[in-house]
Amino acid sequence: MDSAYCDAIANAESLLLADSLAQAAPAAPVTAPGSAAPPPARAPEENGSWFPKPPDVPTQAGPSGIRFDFNDGCRVVAPVGPEVWRIRLFDLDAGNILFQTTPDFRGGGVMSAKKYFVRFRIEAWKDEKRVFAHDFDATNRDVLIVFPVGTLGDSVAWISYAVRFAEAHKCRLTIAMAERLIPLFAGAYPHIRFVDTKAVMPDEFYATYRVGLFFDDVARIYQPVDFRHVGLHKTAAHILGLDPAEAPPELAVEDKGRPIADKYVCIATQATSQCKHWNNPFGWREIINLLKNAGYRVVCIDQKPVTGAGIVWNHVPAGAEDMTGQLSLEDCVRWLRHAEFFVGLSSGLSWVAWAAGAKVVMVSGFTLPSTEFATPFRVINYHACVGCWEDPTLRFDHKDFLWCPRHAGTPRQFECTALITAEQVKQAIRRIPGFLEAPASAGR
C-alpha cells in the first residue's frame, strides 16, 4: 500500500497514518490530506545543521508483530493484513486521548504530531481484542538527547537539563553534541555517554528528543512553547518535560590554579552578529580605563581579534591585553574561574563564564533578561528599542551580520546597545562585591 496522509485530527493534533513511517518537518505546514509529496525526512535546526534521522522502523518489539518507540514522537506500526486494528495514543499526564485509528484500519503506522516529551500510553486492539498496552517508561532504557552542531552557548545552556532528564527517568542517556564541545562536559558526567552529533546512530534508542531553537514551529511540533517566550536555556526544560529552574552545568576542566598572580578581569567584546555587540563607540574604552585605574589587568579572551561585515568591523578594545585566539575552551574556563569578574555580551563566552562560576556583567539589548541566565549585573536600557530576539513576528537572520529588523539603515540601527552608556555598565560593576574603584584623581 502506498504511503498516504489521512485526516486524523483529535484534540487539535494531526497524525500520520501509513504503511511506513515518514518524518515531519518542524516548521512546515501539515501536508494536506491526499498529497503525494512526503515532508522532509529530518528536522532543520536554526543554524542550518540537521538532527540525525530517526530509524525507519521503530526499535521496540511488541506482541502480534507490533513495533513501537519514541524516537520521533510516539510511533507505532501494526502488521498490514486482514485483521482490523485499533491503535490509541493517550497523554498520561494531560488525561487526553490524542488519537485513535478509524474502524477499518488494517495495519500500518501511527505517529504522534508532537515530537517533544510527552508521557504517552499506547494501546492496541486486534479484532476488538486488546493485545498491547505500554506506558512510557525509560527506566534502564537507552535514550538519546540531541543538541545542534557547534553552538557553544546553547550547549552550555542545555546540558544541565539533559542531565536532569536522565536523573528523573533513570535512563541510560546518550547526549549527541558537537565533537569539539564533548571534552568540556564528558568527564563531569561519567554516567552519560557523549557522542558527536554527526556520527550518532539512533537505531538503538527507546526514545529520542531534539533540543534546538525552532523559529518557525507555529504548530508547536518540536517545542510545547515558543523558545522566545521562555528563554534560550529554559526551552530545553519545556522540550524535555522538566522543571525550568536554571542551574549551571558542571565542567570537566581540571583547576590548575590562577593563570596570573595579578588581579584581573576577563572581557569578551566580539559576537556572531552586530546586534549582539555593545555598539556604544566609547563604551569599552571607558570601562577598561575604570578597571585599569582600579588596579585590574583587563584580558580579552575572544576567539577572534576582529569580527564584522561590509564597512562595520569590531576590534579588541584599546588598553585590553589581547589573548584572542590563544586560549582553548579549557584554558578559557581556567581564566574565567579565577577572574574577579567577567564583562561580556549575549554570546557563548558569557554562558561559559556562568558555568565556570564567574560573576557576569552582561551588556545586551537585542535580548531581554529572560533569554539568558539570571545575573544581578545585567545591563539593558529600556529607553531604547529592545528585545527583537524575543519577538516571534521577527525571524532572526543568521546570515545577515548587520541584522536589525526594526531600524536597519536608519540612525536608530543597533540603538538597543548604542544607548547603553558606559556609566550604566560602571554602575553594574560597582555593585560587584569586593570591587574597589580608584579615587577620582587616579590616572590623571
The residues carrying an active-site annotation are 154
Instruction: Give the whole-angstrom CA distance, residue 234 versus residue 211.
Output: 11
Which residue matches cell numbers 515518514? 22
> Alpha carbon of 322 to those of 152, 153, 167, 285, 415: distances in Å?
21, 22, 42, 14, 27
Give CA–CA dist 343/426, Å, rounded: 11
Cell of 283: 563604551
- What DSSP letter does each residue of 98-119 carry, written as one string? EEE--TT--SEEEE-S--S---
User: Of all helices (H) and strands (E), which one includes residue 166?
Assistant: helix 152-169
Nearest 5°: the CA angle 93, 99, 100 is: 125
Place of cell 476488538: 128
Neighbours of 81 (CB within 10 A): 11
Task: List % helix, strand, coil for the chain (3-state, nearest 5).
Answer: 20, 20, 55
Strands (DSSP E) found in 294-415: 297-300, 306-309, 312-315, 321-322, 342-344, 360-363, 378-379
- Return the axis-axis angle of helices 329-338 and 348-356, rounded to nearest 10°: 60
Q: Is 50 helix (H, G, I), strand (E, B) or coil?
A: strand
Phi, psi of 204 (to 5 degrees): -100, 0
CA 318 to chain centre: 34
Whole-angstrom distance, CA of residue 56 vs CA of residue 405: 40
